[in-house]
Structure 1
Amino acid sequence: MTKHHLNTRLLHTDSADFDPESGIAPVSLPAIRTSTVRFRDLDVLDQTMARKNKGEKVVSYGIAGLDTHRALENVINTLEGGSYCVLNPSGLASIHLAFMSVLKSGDHVLVSDNVYGPVRVMHETLLKRLNIELTYFSAEHPDPASLIQPNTRMMYVESPGSLLMEMLDLPRLAGIAREHDIVLAIDNTWGAGMLYQPLALGADISVIAGTKYINGHSDVMLGAVVTNRDDLARQIHATQYAVGNSVSADDVWLALRGVKTMAVRLEHHARSALQVCEFLDSHPLVSRIYFPAWEKDPGHALWKRDCLGSNGLLSVSLNCSPDAAKAFVNALELFGIGFSWGGFESLVQWVSPGALEPHSYWKEPGKALVRLHIGLEKVEDLIQDLNQALDQISAS
């Protein structure tokens, strides 16, 4: 059988089957909504429960999802190179599931200090109460293995980071994890499987916020946990069922619709983002651009080695104070002020100095940082908007 490109396989994975009587099939798989399923007889019920108890993903009750859910899980497995995927109501819920599936009270986790901010909240509000200890480390640490303790069970990282786009040497970290028999889990929301495939680089678990590029339209909250290890799949499967996370079939359908155009959207986002970088690089108010696909970014070599493409997310430090940068943010007309990214629209986030303090990668104290998501608007219009907003700082 011909081995097609990922973009092609993505469009054809889990398409709707033809009706055996009419020979007709819809282009888009329908959203199958139900809380309860019926069994033809008790033998079918017994067979279903026996398969379920073995860890198979069978349809037995609405909380575990039906055909629509299986289709998106198969699509995400195709993207990530995984053998098991489970959906969650958000990216953060997926991070929580990954932690709870691997860890028990008394365990220790090494966490890269560039992780998604709410992970620290989860640590303070939940993990400490469960007697799970976290140690944050810099990706630039010369010997992360020296931080491993006898009770270290997992290493959790994000690459690239979603605030400063810091690239981590994932194969190096995977080698350390294997040597010490600990699980390496990664937040792959930036890469969404199409740009970055951490399981192929040695990670054991990949976590995605499908809220972002997989959906692409800023109208769905969704997460996923993916692995290609059977032992971890069994642990994740059992934990997900115990926790009871569930995702609306309509949200899953929206993500299935959105993911079909992800390849062309990402190409547009990435192309426009590089043009924005070229403009920003020439502006005297710009101190540094954080975007690994940008050739002047310190992580560019790792990006070229490990990534398959780029997207529209970048951060920019400005030669002014954080307070002065608020005038820039407020002056933007085409960029909505918001925390998310990955949709069709352009967004800007003013980053507070406090949010940057835990990041050892941040080496510009006193300067302002703004994060930009370059959307699908005409890039010349976005550049013109950025230019007039930068003039606001110059004027003040």
Structure 2
Amino acid sequence: MTDRPSFQTALIHNDYAAPEGFNAFPQAIHHASTVLFDNVAAMRSRNWQQKTGYTYGLHGTPTTFTLEARLAAIEDGKYCRLAPSGLAAIAMISFALLKTGDDVLLPDNVYGPNRELGNWLAQDFGITARYYDPLVGAGIAAMIQPNTRLIWAESPGSVSMEIPDLPAICQAAHARSVPVALDNTWSAGLALRAFDLGADIVMQALTKYQSGGSDVLMGAVITRDESLNRKLESAHMRLGFGVGADDCYLVLRSLPSMKLRFDAHDAAARKIAAWLQTLPEISTVLHPALPECPGHEIWKRDFSGAGGLFSVLFDPRYSEEQTDRFVDALKLFKIGFSWGGANSLCVPYRMKTMRNNWPYQGQLVRFNIGLEDPDDLMADIAKALRIL
């Protein structure tokens, strides 16, 4: 034994510590699975539910805590937990609040994977999942049962674009002590103040505008309620939902430009949506800022803006084969799910297989308007329509 370690040990152990006082605009990336404690007493007094310290990489580092704090501030919430995807964030909420014998209400326009999760809960976990008309408003009171433990809302529906009366739904739910969870991804927390309108929990798919680069999968769950947060924290830990620091950094880097990007998406989408209204091939434009969209008056009351996502219904004389040919003919619009990035996207949907009572005729196509010049995007659509 000597006081001088071997080369191998010196590669791992070193006494150097960088001087304090470094400061810069970018958030530092703190990677960690193992978190070190100063002594045994500190290790034994750790509390993974508190963000006053660090316990294990799964529960957060300064990088993840910083992102959670900024996301909570955007929504004007108090507590936030990250998840590996938007669907993981949805699952965290449902598993935190539901158990065998419980009942959950979901809007009929709910995000498809959330519907699949609801069906799975019903099939394998003994939880009833029932679907309500997204425009039911205060009428949802008649659907609440003694065992209803959670009501989901989505504003607007991410394909069919109905705007629910969130305050009315929340008022009816709270009268029966049922929490309401809102998927607020469409507005990125920028155009809808969900907690002020009564929501108890907000879910965000950070994959969208928060990332802005079409390169990150992540979700967030935000609340103001301490008791709900304790349940969410427990589900987060038991499900093992960890998020890498590098991905957190990518979202943190994009947040300063998110409002500017969101407004640019909004302006371009409204211009293109208004133009599409004038085309004989299109029967209906489902954009919440347009009067023909279901729930438009509620959008005017509750929202301060819109994003880049909306849908159109083609005239019923066009078949699915024809609208598919239209989508295939687009050049600037790529075919792909998700949205919120710089690139425009277009996806056709078979609505009668997705909705219990779909009232429209004609094929539905959803557009995500990216950050390209809207005149170029309209020219792309016009060329594709020529071979419809």
Question: What is the TM-score when the length of structure 2 is the normalising length?
Answer: 0.91
CA deviation profile, 1:289-335 (whole Å, cap 9, x unmatched): 01112244332221121112111001000012222101110110000
**Deviation (angstroms), 1:198:** 1.2
Task: Indicate the residue corresponding to 2:377 in structure 1.
Answer: 382
Matches of residues 348-387 of structure 1 in structure 2 within 5 Å? Answer: 348-358=346-356, 360=357, 362-365=358-361, 367-387=362-382
Equivalent of 1:44, from 42, 56, 59?
A: 42
Task: Indicate the residue corresponding to 1:8 in structure 2.
Answer: none
- Among the aligned pairs, what percent are the same residue? 38
Q: Specify whether residues 233 and 371 from structure 1 end up closer, same or farther in structure 2 by C-alpha distance, changes over 3 A only.
A: same
User: Is 1:286 matched with 2:282?
Assistant: yes
Any idea what SS the aligned residue of 2:285 has?
strand
User: Is 1:223 matched with 2:219?
Assistant: yes
Moved more, 225-234 or 300-309: 300-309
CA deviation profile, 1:62-100 (whole Å, cap 9, x unmatched): 111101100110111011111110000000011000001
Task: Indicate the residue corresponding to 2:170 in structure 1.
Answer: 174
CA contact (8 A) 2:108 2:355 kept: no
Task: Indicate the residue corresponding to 1:332 in structure 2.
Answer: 330
Equivalent of 2:262, from 258, 262, 266?
A: 266
Equivalent of 2:196, from 176, 196, 200?
A: 200
Task: Indicate the residue corresponding to 1:15 in structure 2.
Answer: none
**Deviation (angstroms), 1:44:** 2.2
CA contact (8 A) 2:210 2:255 kept: yes
Equivalent of 2:110, from 107, 115, 126?
A: 115
Any idea what SS the aligned residue of 2:196 has?
coil
Q: State how far apart, in whole Å, the 2-side matches of 1:353 and 1:175 are.
A: 30
Q: Specify whether residues 66 and 236 from structure 1 end up closer, same or farther in structure 2 by C-alpha distance, changes over 3 A only.
A: same
**Deviation (angstroms), 1:354:** 4.1
Task: Indicate the residue corresponding to 1:154 in structure 2.
Answer: 150
**Deviation (angstroms), 1:245:** 0.8
Question: What is the TM-score when the length of structure 1 is the normalising length?
Answer: 0.90
Equivalent of 1:75, from 70, 76, 93?
A: 70
Q: Specify whether residues 57 and 108 from structure 1 end up closer, same or farther in structure 2 by C-alpha distance, changes over 3 A only.
A: farther
Any idea what SS the aligned residue of 2:204 has?
strand
Q: Specify whether residues 197 and 152 from structure 1 end up closer, same or farther in structure 2 by C-alpha distance, changes over 3 A only.
A: same
Q: State how far apart, in whole Å, the 2-side matches of 1:163 and 1:57 are.
A: 41
For structure 1, the residue ranges without an aligned partner over 5 or more in a row are: 1-19
| Alignment length (residue pairs) | 369
Q: State how far apart, in whole Å, the 1-side matches of 2:281 and 2:212 are.
A: 31
Q: Give the aligned residue type for 2:27.
A: L
User: Is 1:253 matched with 2:249?
Assistant: yes
CA deviation profile, 1:84-124 (whole Å, cap 9, x unmatched): 10000000011000001111110001111110011221123
Equivalent of 2:29, from 22, 28, 31?
A: 31
Task: Indicate the residue corresponding to 2:186 in structure 1.
Answer: 190
Pair member with larger Rg = 2
**Deviation (angstroms), 1:146:** 1.0
Moved more, 85-94 or 314-323: 314-323
When the two chains are superposed, the root-mean-square deviation of aligned CA atoms in Å is 1.7
Q: State how far apart, in whole Å, the 2-side matches of 1:299 and 1:146 are.
A: 21
**Deviation (angstroms), 1:147:** 1.1
Q: State how far apart, in whole Å, the 1-side matches of 2:53 and 2:20 are.
A: 27
